[in-house]
Amino acid sequence: MSAATPHEVVIVRGERGEEIGWLVIDRLVDGLSFGGFRFSPDVTRAEVERLARCMSHKLALHGYPVGGAKAGLRCDPREPGVEKMLDRFAETARNSLMSRAIVGRDMGATDALIDGLYQRLGSAQMSVAGVDSRLRDLTGYRRHMTGLGVSYAARRAMGGDLRGVRVAIQGFGLVGAGSALRLSAMGASIVAVSDATGALIEPDGIDAEALYDASGGARALPPQSLKSSRDSLFAVDADLVLLAASSNSVDVEQARTIRARVVVEGSNFGLTDAGREVLQEMGVCVIPDLIASSSSAAMVARQMQAKGRLREDDLWSAIETAIDEATASALARSRREGTDVRTAYLRAHGA
């Protein structure tokens, strides 16, 4: 996949003609594409295009069941004005959303907002793929499934076994908390977690289940648990650091303090390009988002391709195998070529 420009960009404009939203279809496969819908006052067209391309790269390792897409709306999803903006988005992007693109939850999105979009369209979320259903009603839709894919990639990066592996997790939102639960279930020891306000560091291990319950839905850590500054997490004595906060949240300064030998990007673009270069120079292995956070997209895309007919066990067995093999292959190629794992993965897929 080497095209420099996306297949299609739909621009949504506000009352004064300003750009307020975008639907980007990076690639169509058999006439279909899929990606998340991001609601943020800071989202930009360039970011949406980059994320749509990232989605295509993620789906490449799963055999391109469909192409990658992404949507973005420049708004605070908690403000009343979001409803009028969603009206404009549905009106402008109707043709694409009714014929070739499906969007689901992403940063800032809620089930209510996504349901509201499809109610405005008068369509079931999966109708483009020939399924009269919502994504979350599909067979195989699992809780913490992004965290499950992260765990598959982390396990392969650590040699195939997570038992006793010490993990520090930056970010305790849906991906961070879900990954903590999944990694713990595979035998890892969570020794540190952080959010925007601070870090909890426990060298003897953190009970991920209890912490998740105490957080009230994994949006933030309980204030009484925070004992350290958030960036102190990177210097923790850990085998693996999981990045599950916002995009580009680890730059050169933070990267230089990381003591772990493996970093996994659970968030999209958790590292800046400069931060990634520093870790490569330090000999730290970085498993990129393109592999590690692909499981949710793969679950939906595979069911889109199969019109919702895949059995759950078969679906997740295929996802686990694909992530495990992609991680192993990219690691081997990076060692042979002396490059970072992300570059190795992209070269393998013609990018």
Pair 186, 159: CB distance under 8 Å: no
pLDDT at position 55 is 97
Query: How large a percentage of the chain has pLDDT more than 90?
Result: 89
Q: Between 214 and 301, whose confidence is greater?
A: 301
Angle at 300 between CA 135 and CA 286, to 5 degrees: 125
Q: Among candidates 150, 137, 138, 187, which has minimal Cα distance to 165?
A: 187
> pLDDT tens digits for 269-278?
999 999 999 9
- Using the predicted structure, report yes or no on whether residue 290 has a pLDDT greater than 80: yes
Residue 163 sits in the same domain as residue 283: yes
Whole-number Å distance between alpha carbons of 245 and 266: 8
Q: Would 345 be classed as within a structural domain?
A: no
pTM value surpassing 0.85: yes
Reduced 3-state DSSP string for 321-339: HHHHHHHHHHHHHHHHHCC
**First vs last Cα of the chain: how many Å apart?**
5
Helix axes 312-337, 295-305, angle to 10 degrees: 130
pLDDT band at 302 (very low <50, low <70, confident <90, very high): very high
> pLDDT tens digits for 160-178?
999 999 999 999 988 999 9
Residue 116 sits in the same domain as residue 155: no
- Using the predicted structure, report yes or no on whether residue 224 has a pLDDT greater than 80: no
Average pLDDT over residues 45-68: 97
Angle at 300 between CA 294 and CA 304, to 5 degrees: 135
Outline where the chain has alpha helix (H). 45-60, 82-97, 111-121, 145-157, 174-185, 208-214, 252-255, 273-282, 289-292, 295-305, 312-337, 341-348
Place of tokens 């957080």: 215
pLDDT at position 247 is 87
- Using the predicted structure, report yes or no on whether residue 218 has a pLDDT greater than 60: no
Q: Would 342 be classed as within a structural domain?
A: no
pLDDT at position 216 is 62
pLDDT band at 214 (very low <50, low <70, confident <90, very high): confident
pLDDT band at 246 (very low <50, low <70, confident <90, very high): confident
Whole-number Å distance between alpha carbons of 146 and 102: 18
> pLDDT tens digits for 12-26?
999 999 999 999 999
- Using the predicted structure, report yes or no on whether residue 319 has a pLDDT greater than 60: yes
Residue 306 φ then ψ, to 5°: -95, 5
Mention every residue, 6+ apart, whose C-beta is less than 8 A from residue 99.
31, 128
pLDDT at position 219 is 60
Residue 195 sits in the same domain as residue 239: yes
pLDDT at position 244 is 95
| 3-class DSSP state of 82 | helix
DSSP 250: B
- Which residues on adjacent β-strands are paired with residue 241? 168, 263
pLDDT band at 311 (very low <50, low <70, confident <90, very high): very high
Average pLDDT over residues 103-109: 92
Q: Would 93 be classed as within a structural domain?
A: yes
Among 137, 167, 192, the domain boundary falls at 137
**How remote is the C-alpha of 207 from its chain's centroid?**
24
- Using the predicted structure, report yes or no on whether residue 45 has a pLDDT greater than 60: yes
* Six-digit token string for 199: 């870090």
- Using the predicted structure, report yes or no on whether residue 252 has a pLDDT greater than 70: yes
pLDDT at position 351 is 67
pLDDT at position 251 is 96
Residue 151 sits in the same domain as residue 280: yes
Pair 2, 350: CB distance under 8 Å: yes
Residue 165 sits in the same domain as residue 118: no
Whole-number Å distance between alpha carbons of 84 and 90: 10
Residue 163 sits in the same domain as residue 45: no
Among 258, 279, 294, the domain boundary falls at 294
Residue 82 sits in the same domain as residue 219: no
Place of tokens 């300003």: 18
pLDDT at position 1 is 52
pLDDT at position 221 is 82
Q: Would 350 be classed as within a structural domain?
A: no
Among 242, 259, 294, the domain boundary falls at 294
Q: Would 332 be classed as within a structural domain?
A: no
Whole-number Å distance between alpha carbons of 292 and 169: 14
Q: Between 1 and 258, whose confidence is greater?
A: 258
Residue 46 sits in the same domain as residue 133: yes
- Using the predicted structure, report yes or no on whether residue 3 has a pLDDT greater than 60: no
- Using the predicted structure, report yes or no on whether residue 124 has a pLDDT greater than 70: yes
Residue 149 sits in the same domain as residue 119: no
Domain count, the chain: 2
State which residues form the domain around 154.
Answer: 145-294
